[in-house]
Structure 1
Amino acid sequence: MSKKKILTEAEVLGMGEKDYMNAEQLAFFKQRLEHLQQEILKNAGQTIENLRETILVPDPADRATIEEEHALELRTRERERKLLKKVQQSLARIESGEYGWCEETGEPIGLPRLIARTTATLSLEAQERRELRQKLFGD
């Protein structure tokens, strides 16, 4: 059984409108999302190891520096945890056939936007409207 070749970014961008979210494009984005998911999970495992390996240092300044580094690492992992949820939702959208289509308008999100932000669920116009509403009315 031969493994199907995954398209390159240039090949995806070079496809016509009629090819939007065809099987090859979906495979391209699925591979990207799965790779991102693996990276996030690997980083989380590394953070756990780093925190376990912490040694006690007598100097308060050194201890404060280490604690600050740990706090920064934990904040980074928290952002990645939220991203992981979006990645998993995007993978589910690929399976359901909804990936690449704006949740608000049903219009195509667009290949350049999806390449830049694989977890996008809104077209650029819908995202801008949402951000403007948030700015005007708050969350």
Structure 2
Amino acid sequence: MKSEVFLPEDYQPVEDEPFMNERQTEYFRRKLITWKNEILAGSRDTIEGLQDGTRAIPDVADRASEETDRALELRTRDRQRKLVAKIDQALRRIEDGEYGYCQVTGDPISLKRLDARPIATMSLEAQERHERREKVHRDD
């Protein structure tokens, strides 16, 4: 069992401390859990809204508009479901001690990048190379 890590409320990871020390790891773990909980709460609200919104709308244009809105909402929720899976993967990487390191190069991912995108699995340089290769192959 791991001991509780003290983390001041205003803590921000900084480059001059050891990379992925206990405080940084706890900071990102909490950030990921909070993000996941916000997404799940939004999903519950959407499901309730969709269940409440099943009513007969006589006007064809209004019905079509509502169906379009619902389809968009469901697509958004599907993207968020995939995001929750990525958050879970990041939390597993924290548990395994692999979080914060590029899966391509093994180098540390910058703290700024992780703070902006805590589910990042590649350093900015590796991600840019990956996207350039993807673009080249897409243009074929």
Tell me the TM-score normalized by structure 1: 0.90
- One-letter code aligned to 1:73: E
Give 1:1-139 correspondences, 5 Å limit.
Answer: 4-6=6-8, 8=10, 11-13=12-14, 15-16=15-16, 18-54=17-53, 55-138=55-138
**Are the aligned partners of 1:33 and 1:91 in contact in 2 as well (CA < 8 Å)?**
yes
Structure 1 position 68, deviation (Å): 1.1
Cα RMSD of the aligned pairs, angstroms, is 1.8
**Are the aligned partners of 1:7 and 1:24 in contact in 2 as well (CA < 8 Å)?**
no
* Gapped regions of structure 2 (runs ≥ 5): none
Q: What CA deviation, in whole Å up to 9, does each residue of 1:106-138 have, x standing for no partner?
A: 000110000010000000010011001101123
Q: What CA deviation, in whole Å up to 9, does each residue of 1:44-86 have, x standing for no partner?
A: 1111111111121111111111111101111110110111111
| Higher-helix-fraction structure | 1
* Structure 1, 39-48 or 20-29: larger mean CA deviation: 39-48
Is the partner of 1:12 in helix, strand or coil? coil
The number of aligned residues is 135
Distance 1:3 1:126 in 2: 31
Q: Which portions of structure 1, spanning 4 or more consecutive aligned residues, are displaced by more than 4 angstroms?
A: none
Tell me the TM-score normalized by structure 2: 0.89
Distance 2:110 2:71 in 1: 37
Structure 1 position 4, deviation (Å): 2.3
